[in-house]
Amino acid sequence: MIPDTLSAGQYNTVYNFLSLVIASQLFAALFMLIALPRILPRYRQAITIAIIVCGIAAYHYFRIFDSFKAAFVTDSVGGTGTYTQAVGEGFNEGYRYVDWFLTVPLLLVELIAVLALARSVSRRLMMQLVPAAALMIALGYPGEISGDNGIRAIFGLLSTIPFLFILYVLFVQLGKSLERQPVSVRKTLSRLRFLLLLSWGVYPIAYLLPLLNIAGSDAWVFKQVGYSVADILAKAVYGLIIFYVARRKSFEDDAAFAAIEESKDEAPALR
pLDDT digits (tens, 9 = 90+) for 38-47: 999 999 999 9
pLDDT confidence band for 208 (50 / 70 / 90): confident
What pLDDT, on a 0 to 100 scale, did the predictor assign at position 233? 93
Q: How far apart are the first and last CA of the chain?
A: 59
> How many separate domains does the chain show?
1
For the cut 70, the answer to whether the pLDDT of residue 269 exceeds it is no
C-alpha span between 12 and 159 (Å, rounded):
32
The neighbour count for residue 265, using CB atoms within 10 Å, is 9
Q: Which CATH number does the domain housing residue 101 bear?
A: 1.20.1070.10
The predicted-structure confidence for 90-141, as pLDDT tens digits, reads as follows: 888 889 889 999 999 999 999 999 988 888 888 999 999 999 999 999 998 8
Q: Is the pTM of this model over 0.85?
A: yes
Is the distance from CB of 136 to CB of 104 less than 8 angstroms?
yes
CA atoms within 13 A on the CB side of 4: 0
Residues 245 and 190: their CA atoms lie apart, in Å, by 11
Strands of the chain (E only): list them: 5-6, 72-73, 83-85
What is the rounded average pLDDT of the residues 72-100?
Answer: 85
Mean pLDDT of 161-173: 90
Domain that residue 202 falls in: 5-270
